[in-house]
């Protein structure tokens, strides 16, 4: 069995666990509560979602770099610890202890995500295979997330503890399966070296990080904009469910198209097309308005966001081979999460009308596109020196 297949097996179990956990806790955000109560809960959720990065960056990141056994042991421990956290959730489901447990689960989830990104270059034969491998895991996430959520929904109807139990079993299985991953220790110092600074300040990486920031902001804004705007529409819950389904399908398609697109054009051009697509889609959706336009725009934003993520990860993994990838992905993911949260807060607090929200996405992306082109032009002399 190839290293990539082993990592895929671990990832599938992790995604099943995440899907079951999301179903178990879904009622705490939007369902069966008033819009005002939902708004306050979402604002709290957005604030809490930043906390794992505050913990992960200064504490967990350096520790897992020095952990004997490297990423393999990290992923194994994350799976087993998440299983234990879920078992504790089953016991204290209706108490205040659920909140610190949910926070710990978020920290562990981000730890796995960073570790997986750091492992990817070690399970492929060369940098040219990175995007295809990332796309494969992205497609698995879409399919398994949907299929894994179905039995969790059935168990949730019986008892929330049953769906939590399914999640715990999946995480435990992922932890055990991680023992089959190849050994890899991040043999890099805690302090950033000159070569790492040079690689991470390369124009390609800075541009990719900038575009990824814009795309994540658009994804966050559209999700919460639709969630609250559709509540006031007829059959709003059904429309929102359709929007989530469209986003899942577009994400799956993007993870299949991304590697094929990379064979024809470079990552930098892919990122330009992603921003341009969001810009055009937002302007058209704002012009036509309506629920259908909003759902289509959500699909476009999530799809090109996934393509952009593939291009971004491939750029970092290939252009910064000497960088501490765990620390690097934590830093970039922290920035992206801040953009997602800030954009989501804007949608929740301002609650603009549907067409106005779509125009915000389009105009905001247009401004970002202009900044991207200006940064590209000013960086061309530096590119020639490198």
Same domain, 167 and 242: no
Residues 179 and 238 in one domain: no
Confidence of residue 87 (pLDDT cuts 50, 70, 90): very high
If asked whether residues 48 and 141 sit together in one domain, one would say yes
Any idea which residue has 């890099």 for tokens?
188
Per the domain annotation, does 283 fall within a domain? yes
Look at residues 183, 203, 222 and tell me which one is the last residue of a structural domain: 183
Residue 365: inside a domain: yes
* Residue 43 pLDDT exceeds 50: yes
Domain of 136, CATH number, reads: 1.20.1250
Let me know if residue 369 belongs to a domain: yes
212 lies in the same domain as 140: no
pLDDT of residue 31: 45
Query: What does the pLDDT look like over 219-244, one tens digit per residue?
Result: 989 988 888 888 777 766 678 778 87
| 221, 130: one domain | no
Statement: residue 383 has pLDDT above 50: no
Q: Are residues 165 and 226 in the same domain?
A: no
In a domain, 188, yes or no: no
Q: In the predicted model, what is the mean pLDDT of the chain?
A: 78
Task: Note the pLDDT of residue 351.
Answer: 82
Which is nearest to 226 in space by CA: 118, 358, 74? 358
Q: Do 21 and 3 fall into the same domain?
A: yes
Tens-digit pLDDT profile for residues 290-322 = 889 999 999 999 999 989 988 888 888 777 766
Most confident of 30-39, 161-170, 342-351: 161-170
Domain boundary, last residue among 155, 183, 211 = 183
Are 127 and 200 contained in the same domain?
Answer: no
**Range of the structural domain that residue 156 is part of:** 1-183
Query: Do 117 and 203 belong to one domain?
Result: no
pLDDT tens, residue by residue, 124-149? 776 667 677 877 888 888 788 777 77
Reported as a pLDDT band with limits 50, 70 and 90, residue 32 is very low
* Residue of 188 and 128 predicted with greater confidence: 128
**What is the residue-wise DSSP string for 202-250?**
SHHHHHHHHHHHHHHHHHHHHHHHHHHHGGGSTTHHHHHHHHHHHHHHH
pLDDT tens-place string over residues 248-269: 788 888 888 888 888 888 888 8
The answer on 204 and 171 residing in a single domain is no
What pLDDT sits at residue 34? 52
Q: How many angstroms separate the CA atoms of 315 and 179, rounded?
A: 28
Residue 283, pLDDT > 90, answer: yes
pLDDT at residue 29, rounded to an integer: 45
Last residue of a domain, one of 149, 165, 183: 183
Residue 35 lies in a domain: yes
What whole-number distance in Å separates Cα of residue 380 and Cα of residue 107? 39
78 part of a folded domain: yes
Residues 175 and 238 in one domain: no
Q: Please name the residue that has the structure tokens 């913990």.
A: 55
CA proximity to 18, closest of 98, 105, 116, 91: 105
pLDDT at 218 (0 to 100): 94
Total number of domains constituting the chain: 2
Instruction: Mark whether 150 and 81 lie in a shared domain.
Output: yes
46 falls within a domain: yes
pTM across the whole model: 0.74
Q: Is residue 383 part of a domain?
A: yes
Does the pLDDT of residue 70 top 70, yes or no? no
Over 60: is that where the pLDDT of 192 sits? no
DSSP state of 201: T
Q: How confident is the model at residue 279 (pLDDT cuts 50, 70, 90)?
A: very high
CATH of the domain at 342: 1.20.1250.20
């Amino acid at each position: 069995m190839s290293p990539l297949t082993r990592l895929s097996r671990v990832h599938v179990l992790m995604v099943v666990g995440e899907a079951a956990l999301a179903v178990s806790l879904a009622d705490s955000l939007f369902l069966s509560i008033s819009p005002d109560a939902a708004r306050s809960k979402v604002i709290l959720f957005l604030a809490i979602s930043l906390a794992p990065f505050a913990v992960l960056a200064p504490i967990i990141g350096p520790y897992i770099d020095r952990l004997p056994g490297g990423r393999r042991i990290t992923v194994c421990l994350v799976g087993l610890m998440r299983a234990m956290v879920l078992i504790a959730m089953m016991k204290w489901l209706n108490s205040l202890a659920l909140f610190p447990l949910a926070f710990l689960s978020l920290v562990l989830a981000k730890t796995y995500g960073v570790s997986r990104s750091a492992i990817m270059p070690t399970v492929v034969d060369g940098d040219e295979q990175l995007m295809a491998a990332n796309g494969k895991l992205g497609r698995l996430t879409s399919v398994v997330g949907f299929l894994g959520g179905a039995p969790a929904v059935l168990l949730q109807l019986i008892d929330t503890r049953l769906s939590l139990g399914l999640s715990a079993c999946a995480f435990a299985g992922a932890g055990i399966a991680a023992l089959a991953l190849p050994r890899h220790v991040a043999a890099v110092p805690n302090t950033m070296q000159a070569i790492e600074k040079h690689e991470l300040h390369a124009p390609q990486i800075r541009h990719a990080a900038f575009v990824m920031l814009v795309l994540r902001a658009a994804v966050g804004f559209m999700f919460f904009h639709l969630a609250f705007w559709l509540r006031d529409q007829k059959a709003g819950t059904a429309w929102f469910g359709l929007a989530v389904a469209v986003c899942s399908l577009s994400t799956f398609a993007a993870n299949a198209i991304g590697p094929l697109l990379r064979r024809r054009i470079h990552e930098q051009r892919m990122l330009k097309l992603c921003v341009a697509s969001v810009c055009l889609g937002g302007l058209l959706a704002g012009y036509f308005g309506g629920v259908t336009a909003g759902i289509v725009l959500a699909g476009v934003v999530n799809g090109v966001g996934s393509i952009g993520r593939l291009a971004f990860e491939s750029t970092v993994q290939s252009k910064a081979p000497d960088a501490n990838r765990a620390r690097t992905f934590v830093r970039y993911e922290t920035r992206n999460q801040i953009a997602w949260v800030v954009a989501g807060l804007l949608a929740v607090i301002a609650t603009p009308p549907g067409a106005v929200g779509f125009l915000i996405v389009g105009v905001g992306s247009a401004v970002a596109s202009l900044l991207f082109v200006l940064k590209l032009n000013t960086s061309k002399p530096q590119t020639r020196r490198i």
